[in-house]
Amino acid sequence: MRSFREICENLRRGLPPRLPGERAPGDLQIMEWELARWLGGAARERMLCGEAYFAGEHDILQRERTVIGRGGQQEVVRNLPNNRLVNNQYGKLVNQKADYLLGQPISWEVADAGFDAALKRVFDRRFMRQLKRLGKICYNEGIAWLYPYIDGEGALRFRSFPGYEILPFWADAEHSRLECALRFYQLESWENGAARLIDMVEIFDLSGVHRFRYVQGKLIPEDACHHAYLIHKLADGSFERVNWSRVPLIPFKLNEREQPLLLRVKGLQDALNQALSQFQNALEEDAHNTVLVIKNYDGTDLDEFRHNLAAYGAVKVKTVDGAGGGIDTLSINVDAANFEAVIKLLKDAIIENGMGFDAKLEKGYRAANELNIKSMYSDITLDANDFEAELQAAFEDLLWFVKVYLFNTGQGDYMNEGWRLIFNRDIMVDESEVIENCVKSQGLLSTAAIVAQHPWVNDVGGELERIRAERSEQAPAAGDEE
């Protein structure tokens, strides 16, 4: 995707100055072209396909049973079983990966106690739930977006947008700096007693939000088209419109190529659905478990022969001397073992290519040691490492908005405060071995580092505070004994 500055460079030359928030006609025309291309492009189609597959809407649901008909052409038949079974291993893989990396609340390490308390207020349980949903969107679409805003009570909140709603215009080839973005969505409206969908477009840039209707490829400005991101109440009771100094859309990417998980496993998932459906079809074709061979009864041409064999399971033939009429049968047995082998291979291939893990292996370990656990989780850990690197970068952008909000609401100046984000992965561990290693690390590592690795601790800061309180209570008692 070209940057917005690049595609509008020539149009902006020689244009008269315009008021803040006003968009030039040339800018809108370029955006109309880019939006039309994006709406019909392959990238957005992949995002929609990922969401559909996660919801169980697979290609197998559109399948038709066909046979070779007259003239050698494929014909749809209605008199044969046509099962459309979905074994959604892809959806299971997405849930597994999201639970592994984002199933447990995230924690952080900061030096300032006030900053730690402020982060707890912002990143509450509702945000943790939203983060997990955001992770699933990333797996399904390759990219998701978080929009920070101030609610009516003055609290910092976040809204997530799916990737198929946002068309970004990047300022660099690495897609690290966002210049502006378009959001395409639909609203339901009632007109003349009937509901219809209205295409809407919002443009996010440094001057605020610009709202348009999208009608036949044209952006039509709404009444009061331009809105500021924030409304600030002054001491005299009046209000002023203010904006962030950055575009308030934070990209959460699955990987550097922004490609969804479905690209790795779609062919395997479709093959699994096909195998299961074909197996069920074979079981239900009771009348076709036997092919009838009718002797001495009106032969047919080759096209009709193949059609009758496929559609009816019977053919008509003649003997050489015109005698010996009768009916013979050719039994066709469904070998369930072959289907089971294919289905197992496909499931294993989905896990391997999707870089997940087989939960049945975890259940089979009665006394799993650390080596077995690491081997079982090796693929999903490698994949989670890539995703975590992207999440760390996204949180760096997110923390900028949080720090600005805290400063402007008088909750503290933490703009230069350092932080370290910790994703507590939901992995089976040998707790006794981990605790033993924590005990052995005392004196070699800081208490904070040891507490962060303990399997029973979720809130590192809170646990350290409790340790300090216990030690302060025990110190006077020791002095009294002396």
DSSP labels, 238-294: -EEEE--SS-S-EEEESSTT---THHHHHHHHHHHHHHHHHHHHHHH-GGGSEEEEE
Q: Which residues of the chain have pLDDT under 70?
A: 1-26, 233-234, 286-303, 305-306, 309, 313, 315-332, 361-372, 427-431, 476-482
pLDDT value of position 403: 94
**Residue 256 class from Cβ within 10 Å (0-12 exposed, 13-18 middle, 19+ buried)?**
exposed
Tens-place pLDDT, residues 122-138 = 999 999 999 999 999 99
What pLDDT sits at residue 68? 81
Residue 477: inside a domain: yes
The radius of gyration computed from the CA coordinates of the chain, to the nearest angstrom, equals: 31
202: its two tokens = 């919002």
Alpha carbons 337 and 373: distance in angstroms, whole number: 31
In a domain, 476, yes or no: yes
* Helical ranges in 13-157 per DSSP H: 25-39, 42-54, 89-102, 113-122, 125-141
pLDDT at 433: 72
Rounded CA gap, 252 and 390, in Å? 7
Q: Among residues 173, 167, 178, which one has the least CA distance to residue 2?
A: 173
Tell me what pLDDT residue 111 has: 87
> What pLDDT, on the 0 to 100 scale, is given for residue 459?
75
101's CB contacts (< 8 A; 6+ apart) are: 135, 384, 387, 388, 423, 425, 426
Residue 13, phi then psi, degrees to nearest 5: -70, 130
The domain tally of the chain equals 1
User: Which has the closest alpha carbon to 427: 350, 347, 372, 348?
Assistant: 372
The number of C-alpha atoms within 13 Å of 293 and in the hemisphere containing its C-beta is: 7
Strands 178-191 and 166-170 come out as antiparallel
The residue range of the domain holding 475 is 429-482
Strands 194-205 and 178-191, bridge-based pairing = antiparallel
In-domain check, residue 460:
yes
Distance CA 350, CA 82 (A): 25
Of 468, 472, 470, 467, the closest CA to residue 454 belongs to 467
User: Does residue 475 lie within any of the structural domains?
Assistant: yes
What pLDDT is attached to residue 154? 84
444-461 residue pLDDT tens: 888 888 888 787 787 777
CA pseudo-torsion sign 144, 167, 45, 188: positive
In a domain, 273, yes or no: no
Beta strands 156-162; 290-295: pairing state: unpaired
Residue 452 placed within a domain = yes
Note whether residue 43 is domain-resident: no
**CB contact at 8 A, 251 and 168:** yes
In a domain, 166, yes or no: no
Q: What pLDDT, on the 0 to 100 scale, is given for residue 49?
A: 97
pLDDT at 294: 67
Q: What is the dihedral of CA 182, 183, 186, 191, to 10 degrees?
A: -60
Pairing of strands 290-295, 314-316: parallel
Outline where 75-233 has alpha helix (H).
Answer: 89-102, 113-122, 125-141
Q: Helix crossing, 89-102 with 336-353: angle to 10°?
A: 30
Measured CA to CA, the distance from residue 51 to residue 164 in angstroms comes to 10
Residue type, 396: E
Residue pair 420/119 in contact by the 8 Å Cβ criterion: no
